[in-house]
Amino acid sequence: MRLILIAGPTASGKTALALRLAEATGAEIVGADALQIYRDLSILSARPTPEDEARAPHHLFGVADAADGWSVGRWLEAAGVVLNAIAARGVPTIVVGGTGLYFRALTQGLAQLPTVPPELRQATAERFDILGEAAFRAELRAVDPLAEARISAGDRQRLARAMEVHAATGRALSDWQADAPPAFARDYRAVALQPSRAALYARCDGRFAAMVEAGALEEVRALLERKLDPTLPAMKAVGVRELGAHLAGELSLADAIALGQQQTRRYAKRQLTWLRNQTPDWPRIDAGDSDAQWRQFLALNPALTVC
């Protein structure tokens, strides 16, 4: 088994499982998380700690500045370089993360989409504001029903992107995506962590509170002091807005933590929905604690050779 994919929602235990597997097999770990890429979000993204990284080689963690917004395509290009280099060393690779689109690009390929003029993006955003999501979805459904059906509720960015592409090209985004080049990853084993909703939500709450204890307020303060474009991916990380409101005197710390916990649970729910819809054939690990997850992983992969 040379390429192993581990996906799961936030706080599900995937980082610990990947690290345990890396130590057992001599594998190197590649991040597939849209927020753990950024140096500025070591705490809020629950990025592997320096101690974790000392236990196994890690790649694509903390490699980008928050001012530099990475796309799926940019991640896939960087990941391809890393994966080829690891393969040349003759060691296994573990790709781990919670960003479903990264896994889809890796395993299904990524279409080369046309550039959308800024004025069209602005017009689309204004139309979304005027219509609201339900009516905007209805318009998208008329021109690209496949895209509309797979985009989760509340995902304004992807809804707008699908509409922009159709408006710019006269062709549905789903048609462009169907023309994607061959996938980079063709021979792999994959698992998705799917603990019970109650257990996952409890872990989400505990993690966010622990982040604040670990210095998340200072991390958010430093990020906000840079006055970056609020539409950048790093600026939309769960916790930035909530803790920023506390730093601005708009919320008590207790209220900011409660709101951050709520948003973390909602984020985890969206990730679970994506995994359920997009990776139905991936084996599931439903245990909550790390030892049980490890046992389930070994049971799913009896041929695994450990060091």
Same domain (yes/no): 18, 102:
yes
Q: For residues 210 and 232, what is the distance between their CA atoms, to the nearest angstrom? A: 25
Same domain (yes/no): 289, 174:
no
Domain membership of residue 306 (yes or no) is no
Residue 225 reports pLDDT greater than 80: yes
Domain membership of residue 305 (yes or no) is no
Domain ranges, residue 15: 3-110+182-300
Given pLDDT bands bounded at 50, 70 and 90, which one contains residue 307? Answer: low
Please state whether beta strands 3-7 and 189-193 pair in parallel, antiparallel, or not at all (unpaired). parallel
Residue 305 reports pLDDT greater than 90: no
| Overall number of domains in the chain | 2
Mean pLDDT throughout 188-210? Answer: 96
Which of 178, 207, 229 marks a domain boundary?
178
Q: For residues 62 and 52, what is the distance between their CA atoms, to the nearest angstrom? A: 13
**Cα 113 to chain centroid, rounded:** 20
Residue with tokens 């849209």: 34
pLDDT > 70: percent of the chain: 98
Mean pLDDT throughout 122-126? Answer: 93
Nearest to 183 by CA among 37, 30, 113, 79: 79
Same domain (yes/no): 23, 146:
no
Given pLDDT bands bounded at 50, 70 and 90, which one contains residue 182? Answer: low
Residue 1 reports pLDDT greater than 60: no
- Mean pLDDT, the chain, whole residue set: 93
Q: For residues 131 and 65, what is the distance between their CA atoms, to the nearest angstrom? A: 35
Same domain (yes/no): 156, 35:
no
Same domain (yes/no): 139, 54:
no
Other beta carbons within 10 angstroms of residue 69's beta carbon come to 19
Query: Each residue of 28-50: pLDDT tens digit?
Result: 999 999 999 999 999 999 999 99
pLDDT in the model for residue 242? 98
Same domain (yes/no): 84, 188:
yes
Q: For residues 92 and 225, what is the distance between their CA atoms, to the nearest angstrom? A: 41
Given pLDDT bands bounded at 50, 70 and 90, which one contains residue 181? Answer: low
Q: What share of the chain is helix, strand, coil (3-state, %, to 5)?
A: 55, 10, 35
Q: Which two tokens stand for residue 117?
A: 């003029």
CA atoms within 13 A on the CB side of 145: 1
Residue 258 reports pLDDT greater than 90: yes
Same domain (yes/no): 203, 100:
yes
pLDDT in the model for residue 292? 96
Nearest to 100 by CA among 190, 162, 235: 190
**Secondary structure class of 88 (helix, strand, coil):** helix
Q: Which two tokens stand for residue 87?
A: 């393969």
CATH of the domain at 151: 1.10.20.140
Sorted by sequence, the CB contacts under 8 Å of residue 98 that are 6+ apart come out as: 7, 8, 9, 10, 12, 14, 32, 33, 271
Given pLDDT bands bounded at 50, 70 and 90, which one contains residue 180? Answer: low
Q: What are phi and psi of 58, to 5 degrees?
A: -120, 145
Same domain (yes/no): 241, 264:
yes
**Secondary structure class of 222 (helix, strand, coil):** helix
CATH of the domain at 105: 3.40.50.300
Q: Name the more confident of 1 and 222.
A: 222
